Structure 1
Amino acid sequence: MVEGSRALEILDEETRNIALNSRIEYAPHAFVWMSTAHSSRLGHLIETEGLERPLDDLPPWKPEHVCIYPMVWTNPVTGEKSLQVHGQGAFKLYLKKAPDAEEKVVDPQKKL
Structure 2
Amino acid sequence: MERVAIVAYKPNPGKEQALRALIKKHTPCLRQAGLITNKESFVLETKDGTIVEVFEWKSEQAMKTAHKHPQVQQMWRDYAEVSTYTPLNRLPETGKLFADFAPVG
TM-score, normalised via structure 1 length: 0.27
Which has the larger Rg? 1
Higher relative CO (Cα under 8 Å, sequence separation at least 6) belongs to 2
Greater helix content: 2
